[in-house]
Amino acid sequence: MKRFVSKAVLAATAASLMLVPAAMAGTIKVGAILAVTGGASFLGGPEARTLEMLVEEINAKGGINGDKVEMIIKDSGASPEKAISFAKQLIEEEKVLAIIGPSTSGETMKIKDISEAGKTPLLSCAAAEVIVNPVASYVFKTPQNDSLAVKKIFMEMNRLGITKIAVLAGNTGFGQAGKGQLLKIAPEFGIEVIETEVYDKKATDLSAVVAKIRANKDVQAVVNWSVVPAQSIVIKNIRQAGWDVPLFQSHGFGNIKYVELAGAAAEGVIFPAGRLLIADTLSADHPQAALLKSYVSNYESKYNETASTFGGHAYDAFTILVKAVETAGNDRDKVRAAVENLQGFAGTGGVFNFSATDHNGLDIDAFEMMTVKDGKFVAYTGK
């Protein structure tokens, strides 16, 4: 009986699969899994808004090769179990061409194998290096590798003669990954991490922990690695304590909101970031200049909020996908190959050069050292 049932089921499945029509001509279905609400909404929110804007723009121009883009945005609330459910839904049910997102590394790692098995390109907006190392053939990511940001910071420290540092990190995936890279790479640059603390992403006051670190007189600089608002509380508490230590932040600091909140305390903070933050000061012949300026001004006029590098990750994922579809058409495998072969493609995060072994495509030039001057991001030129 059971065997009969399962045979019937198989037959029915096969029949139904044949009945499903080929993707309708004239639309390109793209899925997105983003943490629009929940603990990572500061990432997912701008990402979702960016995608909505881009889809509107591209459809107004007549779509890709004449095909309209249909974007299905799923709000995962930063929960991996939802991301898993949505990924399967998008791959099998909606039969999307590709998936953009998720916003967090934890979610991306949960669906890495699913998109690999479902042979659907995944363009993650999360930063962790494990996403693309080991390389899964269908999985890409647009944010720069943490290790590049770490190296950029350490290079600057070497120049300034700093050898003993304290590391603070938020307890999000971004903070943890960054902390790991800082500890791992420090010896290569002759730098010693003598204090490490991890704070809650919802921390409201960190003056106690700042006092503790400050008590260690050997600390020559503080590196704070986090993407949550608490990172502006840290620097505020450090400066309130009258501690004039050099302050380094990660590329997670690339949101002017955090600078506004920290006010005077943000002055002089040094951090690596994509050029989106200094788009208006780039010279016109810089390969990223035109697209950065248009993205920032379009986003800001549409949503009445400052553009951040997080929205930029979604911008890159979408424009890379569009570029790939333009050459490869509406086909998962061809699009995957097209992304992998993409060379010299300028995005908000840098100039992407993908290859079979590098599914991130960005090198250390994607970062520029920046600092805060008079409440604005400016290129850091050294002291």
Partner 1 sequence: MTIELFIQYCFAGLTYGSIYAIVAIGFNIIYNTTGIINFAQGEFVMLGGMISISLLPLMPMPLAIALAVVITMAVGALIEIIFIRWLKNPSVLRMIIITIGLSILIRETAVHIWGEGIRALPYFIGNQVTAISVFGARISPQVLVVIGVCGLMVVALGLFFKTTSVGRQMRACSANRTAAVLCGINTRNMVTFSFVLSAGIGALAGCVMSPITYSEYDIGTGLAIKGFTVAIIGGLGNAGSAVIAGLLLGLIEAFSVSVVPLAFQDAIAIAILLVILFVRPHGLFGSSEAAGLKEF
Partner 2 sequence: MKRLLSIAPLLVAIIAIQLLCAATGTLYYLTQMTMSAYYALLIIGLCVLMGYAGQISLGHGGFFAIGGYISAALTTHNLEPLQENVLVAALNSLGLLHAGVDLYGGTFLVVTPWVACIVAILAAVLISYLIGVPVLKLKGHYLAMATLGFGIIIYRVVLASEYFGEADGISGVPGFTLVPGLTVSGDFSGRIQNYYIAWGLLIIGLILLLNLIDSRVGRALRAIHGSSEAADAMGVNTARFKIQTFVLSAVFAAIAGVFLTHYNGGIGPSEASVMKSVRYVALVAVGGMAHLWGALTMGVLLNFLSLRGVFGSYDDAVFGLILILIMLFAPNGILSLRWRPGLAKQVDEKGDG
Q: What is the phi/psi pair of residue 227, to 5°?
A: -125, 0
Binding region for partner 1 (CB under 8 A) out of 50-58, 115-123, 230-238, 361-369: 230-238
Residue number with CB closer to partner 2 (126 or 372): 126
Q: Which two structure tokens, joined as six digits, stand for 122? A: 């995944």
How many chain residues interact with partner 2 (CB under 8 A)? 52
- Residue type (1 letter), 191: I
102 close to 81: Cβ distance less than 8 angstroms? no
Burial label for 358, CB within 10 Å (0-12, 13-18, 19+), is: middle
> Tokens 């042979």 sit at which residue?
119
Is residue 252 near partner 1 by the rule CB under 8 A? no
Is residue 182 near partner 2 by the rule CB under 8 A? no
For 200-256, give the DSSP string: -TT----HHHHHHHHT-TT--EEEEE-SSTHHHHHHHHHHHTT----EEE-GGG--H
Indicate which of partner 2, partner 1, none lies near residue 95 (CB less than 5 to 8 Å, by partner kind): none
Contacts of 237 by beta carbon, 8 Å cutoff, 6+ apart: 205, 206, 207, 210
Indicate which of partner 1, partner 2, none lies near residue 351 (CB less than 5 to 8 Å, by partner kind): none
Q: What is the phi/psi pair of residue 271, to 5°?
A: -155, 155
Q: How far is the CB of 209 from partner 1 (least distance, A)?
A: 5
Residue number with CB closer to partner 2 (14 or 264): 14
Which 78-107 residues touch partner 2, going by CB under 8 A?
Answer: 78-82, 84-86, 88-89, 92-93, 104-107
Which 298-357 residues touch partner 1, going by CB under 8 A?
Answer: 305
Q: Are strands 376-379 and 368-373 parallel, antiparallel or unpaired?
A: antiparallel
Taken in order 130, 125, 366, 334, the sign of the CA dihedral is: positive
| 66 torsion bin: left (phi>0), alpha (psi -120 to 50), beta (else) | left
> Tokens 């290079």 sit at which residue?
155
Indicate which of partner 2, partner 1, none lies near residue 107 (CB less than 5 to 8 Å, by partner kind): partner 2
Q: Are strands 221-225 and 247-249 parallel, antiparallel or unpaired?
A: parallel
Query: Which of 90, 221, 262, 291 lies at the binding interface for partner 1 (CB under 8 A)?
Result: 262
Spatial CA neighbour of 123 closest among 146, 141, 104: 141
Q: How far is the CB of 140 from partner 2 (least distance, A)?
A: 16
| Interface mask toward partner 1 for 13-42; x: CB under 8 A | ------------------------x---xx
Indicate which of partner 2, partner 1, none lies near residue 233 (CB less than 5 to 8 Å, by partner kind): partner 1
Is residue 256 near partner 1 by the rule CB under 8 A? no
Q: How far is the CB of 48 from partner 1 (least distance, A)?
A: 11
- Alpha-helical segments (H) within the chain: 2-19, 41-60, 80-88, 105-117, 146-160, 173-185, 207-214, 230-240, 256-262, 289-303, 309-328, 332-340
Residue number with CB closer to partner 1 (206 or 335): 206
Query: Which of 7, 119, 159, 202 lies at the binding interface for partner 1 (CB under 8 A)?
Result: 202
- Residue type (1 letter), 62: G
Indicate which of partner 1, partner 2, none lies near residue 84 (CB less than 5 to 8 Å, by partner kind): partner 2
Binding region for partner 2 (CB under 8 A) out of 74-82, 150-158, 266-274, 365-373: 74-82
Indicate which of partner 2, partner 1, none lies near residue 176 (CB less than 5 to 8 Å, by partner kind): partner 2
Is residue 24 near partner 2 by the rule CB under 8 A? no
Is residue 146 near partner 2 by the rule CB under 8 A? no
| 190 torsion bin: left (phi>0), alpha (psi -120 to 50), beta (else) | left
For partner 1, the binding residues (CB under 8 A) are 37, 41-42, 45, 171, 197-200, 202, 204-209, 211-212, 215, 229, 232-233, 236, 239-242, 257, 261-265, 305
For partner 2, the binding residues (CB under 8 A) are 5-6, 8-9, 12-13, 15-17, 19-20, 36-38, 74-75, 77-82, 84-86, 88-89, 92-93, 104-107, 109-110, 112-114, 116-118, 128, 134-136, 171-173, 175-177, 198
